[in-house]
Amino acid sequence: MMRVAIVLGTRPEIIKMAPLMREFERRKSDFFILHTGQHYSYNLDKVFFEQLGLPHPKYNLEVGSGSHAEETSKMLVGIEKVLLEEKPDIVLVEGDTNSVLAGAVAAVKLQIKVGHVEAGLRSYDRSMPEEINRILTDHCSDYLFAPTEKAEGILLGEGIPRERIFVTGNTIVDSIYQNIEIARERGNALGTLHLSVGKYFLVTLHRQENVDNPLRFASIIEGLDNVATELQVLMVYPIHPRSRKMMSEFRLRPKDLRLVDPLDYLSFLQLESHAKLILTDSGGVQEEACVLGVPCVTLRDNTERPETIEVGSNILAGAIAEKILECSKFMLGKENNWSNPFGDGRAGERIVDIITGGRNG
Ligand code: UD1
Ligand code: UDP
């Protein structure tokens, strides 16, 4: 039986790797989780393991926060040690964070196979740390699990051999399907936050290029405040700790946004699925909005999820206050009848099949 190492470190990786962990458990496969510790606050980390009933990480490197080089270098050293000891046949990583890059680089240098879940996404914006992580990880990988045919085309265009690429769908769809009913039935976020179905907008904003830049962050907040005032709507913003820190450092004071702590997955899914509109710079949230049929305004100049724009679920507003209001009005006036481009919710199963060479691997 092959031995699999799952390397992860942040909130979106835990959520998008959960379907794979469940599938490995169901098949009684030999796998373990190596957590880098990039995210460590309870509500960005443990809450997801507990709520989704995921296996405990066998290792946690407790790398914590730092500059890109600090985070990545500590991870590389720690991951290498574990891989030398555990000798897995394959290392799986998901997405585009520093933990993903470190997992892929540590493994490929030890000649351990690398599988990249969510391969082939490109924003073509090299000022984003995530874009560098995506490109490097894809080019270190032996198995590239592309969520869509568009992503496959991008990889082929970069010269990656066809036999390494597998179009599987995105595991975010699996995660949504596995949890949405429970979220709708048991989630109590609407009640706790005193919100009514379809009567509020949901905001998330945490990307380095937005919140670490005082002018850009201020302009986005101005845009969001204008949306709340002009459209007379409640805006809820579960705020990432990075954004909370930068907001206070830049002394920004939103007038009309309701800030709440980051939410657990079931509460957040419930809030997403009943929102009238979602405004975000998150990759995962753009996808979830699309799958859940909620219109999305993306607070960025580009996206590596162009499928959402093509089906009409999403629009790019950038960081200009007037444009955020204009795009919000436009999306509210549209019909929410697009189809989901990210797969059928069985990406996890497919990926495990491919890695293990079939159902009994
Ligand atoms: C990281 C990813 C980003 C992803 C996001 C998911 C990189 C380069 N960035 O960004 O792509 O969208 O995770 O949420 O990998 N902090 C805490 N508690 C934590 C973690 C972070 O308070 O558990 C605060 C610290 O002040 C830290 C800051 O957030 O300095 C940034 O953390 P970091 O992990 O470097 O990047 P993220 O912004 O979380
Ligand atoms: N999410 C959550 N609680 C929150 C905000 C987001 O559970 O308060 C989930 C969301 O459902 C999605 C994932 O976190 O699956 C997205 O992660 P994030 O926005 O941090 O990172 P990105 O996708 O931008 O890398």
Output the CA 337–ligand 1 centroid distance in Å. 34
Ligand 1 atom with the smallest distance to the CA of 284 is 12
Q: How far is the CA of 288 from the centre of ligand 2 (A)?
A: 9
Site residues for ligand 1, CB cut-off 6 Å: 10-12, 38-41, 44, 65, 96-98, 129-130, 206, 240-242, 245
Residue 18 in tokens: 């959960």
First to last CA, the chain: 7
Ramachandran angles phi, psi of 2, nearest 5°: -80, 155
The answer to whether the CB of 19 is under 6 A from ligand 2 is no
For the stretch 330-336, contacts whose Cβ atoms lie closer than 8 Å and that sit 24 or more positions apart, written own/partner, are 331/277, 331/295, 331/296, 331/297, 332/231, 332/276, 332/277, 332/295, 334/295, 336/293, 336/294, 336/295
Q: Whose CA is nearest to atom 27 of ligand 1?
A: 65
Measuring from atom 6 of ligand 2, which residue has the nearest CA? 268
Q: Check: CB of residue 167 under 8 Å from CB of residue 149.
A: yes
- 38 Cβ closer than 6 Å to some ligand 2 atom: no
Q: Which of 39, 116, 206, 240 is catalytic?
A: 206
Residue nearest to atom 31 of ligand 1 (CA): 242
| φ, ψ of residue 277 in degrees (nearest 5) | -155, 145
pLDDT in tens, 277-296: 999 999 999 999 999 999 99
**pLDDT truncated to tens, each residue of the chain (361 aa)?**
899 999 999 999 999 999 999 999 999 999 999 999 999 999 999 999 999 999 999 999 999 999 999 999 999 999 999 999 999 999 999 999 999 999 999 999 999 999 999 999 999 999 999 999 999 999 999 999 999 999 999 999 999 999 999 999 999 999 999 999 888 887 889 999 999 999 999 999 999 999 999 999 999 999 999 999 999 999 999 999 999 999 999 999 999 999 999 999 999 999 999 999 999 999 999 999 999 999 999 999 999 999 999 999 999 999 999 999 999 999 999 999 999 999 999 999 999 999 998 754 4
Does the beta carbon of 295 sit less than 6 angstroms from any atom of ligand 2?
A: no
Q: In sequence order, what are the residues at sequence separation of 6 or more whose Cβ sits closer than 8 angstroms to the Cβ of residue 40? A: 62, 64
Torsional class of 127: left (φ above 0), alpha (ψ -120 to 50), beta (otherwise): alpha
Q: Calculate how far, in angstroms, residue 206's C-alpha sits from the geometric centre of ligand 1.
A: 8
Q: Which ligand 1 atom is the nearest neighbour of the CA of 206?
A: 38
pLDDT single digits (tens) 3-14: 999 999 999 999
Q: Residue 56 catalytic?
A: no
What is the identity of the amino acid at 216? R
